[in-house]
Amino acid sequence: MDWKLLATTFGAVFVAELGDKTQLATLSLSSGKVNRLSVFIGSASALVCTSLIAVLAGEIISRHVPPQYIRRGAGAIFIVLGLLYIFRKG
């Protein structure tokens, strides 16, 4: 087990997920008199499934595209999205 990679991945995903629309949807689903355990299990399972898809896709893509290009592409996408959010109107 690569503990450094595990901690880095946890930190990146944890920070990225804070305050996003998924967390807000989970917050609204758990409000009121509902079974919060069901909401927790459902939202946690969804995050696990989307992470599994990302890991499998990353494995497949990395067979054909060098990792540095994947990292650069992901970085460029984050920069573009950040700029769009900063300069959007409304």
- Residues in the chain, total: 90
Q: What angle do CA 21, 24, 26 make, to 5 degrees?
A: 110
Mean pLDDT of 1-18: 90
* pLDDT band (50, 70, 90) for residue 21: confident
At 90 the pLDDT is: 63
Q: What six digits make up the tokens of 72? A: 């650069």
**Max Cα–Cα distance, the chain, nearest Å:** 50
The verdict on pTM exceeding 0.85 is no
Angstrom distance (rounded) from CA 23 to CA 63: 33
Mean pLDDT of 57-79: 93
**Sign of the torsion formed by the C-alpha atoms of 8, 12, 18 and 23:** negative
